[in-house]
Amino acid sequence: MSNTNHSLESIVSTLRTTRNADDDSLKILIETSQNCQCLFDAADSVRRENYGINVYVRGLIELSNYCKNNCYYCGIRCGNPVVERYRLTDDEILNCCEIGYELGYRTFVLQGGEDGLFNDNRVCKIVTEIRKRYADCAITLSLGEKSETAYKSFYDAGANRYLLRHETANDAHYAKLHPPEMMLENRKQCLWNLKRIGYQVGSGFMVGTPYQTTDCLLDDLRFLQELQPDMIGIGPFLSHRDTPFASFQNGSMQQTLRMIAILRLMFPYALLPATTALGTIDPLGREFGLKVGANVLMPNLSPITVRKKYELYDNKICTGEEAAECRNCLAGRVASVGYEIVTHIGNVKR
Ligand code: SAH
């Protein structure tokens, strides 16, 4: 056994037992080009200790691709004149929930760009209606940065969870991915506000965004240790042809898998999705994700007519199948790697 191999194994073992490691050790795991089977095996065994072979599913409803923000990486940024904009009606949203409920989904994730027409009142009205119809479901929102009052009113209307990736926890890097009016400080404040209100909070970041260094990824891990979120969503950066980052390389699947495994060891209880971006970069990306610690999938429930328009990056998968087909396809994929979809509400196990 080589020395470096030995040190990888000892880092993994420390990370597993203490849920922590020093900066240099973490950087080795983040950067290494070696075979990381020991990291992946440890992550899978921690996942099994906490969640068995269960995979939780969340039905994703993409409400609107209008967005007031201009993030340099994102295909639905307001500065993209080419994208055909849409927003779902309240009835369309409720219809997605109905289809999803029949297929066994017990969590609905309402995600969208920061669309002024989905104002606080309207979001409250929709959440209230979904809550009234589906008392046994979790309602997750992913609608970007809002005031604390708005977050509180959504919560009081019946929302339980909120997903807001911090995107990168390094200020200088954040400024390279976003226009000057967007600030990491605000994003973090939103996350703390959500926590204080009582939401189950999800954060996360992209792997391989332009200008990202190992130190940036280390900052992501350290920030997450402070925040202690219930869910952590990560995926590779994927370029979109009509953005300022069109000519940048995609993130790497291997590095994304290493980050998922590291997260599983640092946050044994966390809900970690194998994301659509991971499935886009490689046809088996989500299966690999499940094998290295991920335990959540978020299939699309949006009407087929709008799927292609919610294009955050090029070649997004699952834009052509009805919700029911997606559900079957996923069940097969999950079984192929030895896990099992469960349809209960799937709360975090702390
Ligand atoms: N407006 C909401 C939802 C954003 S879309 C919000 O602000 O939270 C959900 C996630 O997709 C983003 O948080 C981002 O991490 C990811 N994303 C956006 N563009 C991407 C790209 N080009 N490649 C990979 N992931 C991307």
- Nearest Cα neighbor of 210 from 180, 165, 170 is 170
Average pLDDT over residues 298-315: 96
Q: Is the CB of 51 under 6 A from ligand 1?
A: no
In CATH terms, the superfamily for domain 51-342 is Aldolase class I (3.20.20.70)
At 207 the pLDDT is 98
At 110 the pLDDT is 98
Q: Is the CB of 209 under 6 A from ligand 1?
A: no
At 276 the pLDDT is 97
Asked if residue 191 has pLDDT above 70, the reply is yes
| Assigned token pair, 133 | 């119809």
Average pLDDT over residues 36-46: 98
Burial grade of 40 (CB within 10 A; 0-12, 13-18, 19 or more): buried
In a mutational test of the pocket of ligand 1, which residue from 63, 68, 71, 165 has the highest number of ligand atoms less than 8 Å from its CB?
A: 165
Contacting residues for 270 by C-beta, under 8 A, at least 6 apart: 229, 230, 231, 232, 263, 264, 348
Average pLDDT over residues 211-239: 98
Asked if residue 311 has pLDDT above 50, the reply is yes
Q: What is the DSSP string of 42-104?
A: HHHHHHHHHHTTEEEE-EEEEEE---S---TT-TT-TT-SSSPP-B--HHHHHHHHHHHHHTT
At 350 the pLDDT is 84
Express as a percent the part of the chain with pLDDT over 90.
96
Stretch among 41-45, 73-77, 192-196, 325-329 having the lowest mean pLDDT: 325-329
3-state secondary structure of 342: strand
Average pLDDT over residues 12-36: 97
Which of ligand 1's atoms lies nearest the C-alpha of 73? 22
Tens digits of per-residue pLDDT, 192-202? 999 999 999 99
Average pLDDT over residues 38-47: 98
At 254 the pLDDT is 98
Asked if residue 112 has pLDDT above 50, the reply is yes
Banded model confidence at residue 1, pLDDT cuts 50, 70, 90: very low
Tens digits of per-residue pLDDT, 141-189? 999 999 999 999 999 999 999 999 999 999 999 999 999 999 999 999 9
Stretch among 23-32, 114-123, 128-137, 320-329 having the lowest mean pLDDT: 320-329
Banded model confidence at residue 319, pLDDT cuts 50, 70, 90: very high
Banded model confidence at residue 225, pLDDT cuts 50, 70, 90: very high
Asked if residue 338 has pLDDT above 50, the reply is yes
Tokens 């094998």 appear where? 291
Tens digits of per-residue pLDDT, 113-154? 999 999 999 999 999 999 999 999 999 999 999 999 999 999
Asked if residue 3 has pLDDT above 70, the reply is no
Asked if residue 2 has pLDDT above 80, the reply is no
Express as a percent the part of the chain with pLDDT over 70.
98
In a mutational test of the pocket of ligand 1, which residue from 60, 69, 72, 74 has the highest number of ligand atoms less than 8 Å from its CB?
A: 74
Asked if residue 290 has pLDDT above 90, the reply is yes
Q: Whose CA is nearest to atom 11 of ligand 1?
A: 312
Q: Is the CB of 201 under 6 A from ligand 1?
A: no
Banded model confidence at residue 5, pLDDT cuts 50, 70, 90: low
- Nearest Cα neighbor of 203 from 286, 276, 145 is 145
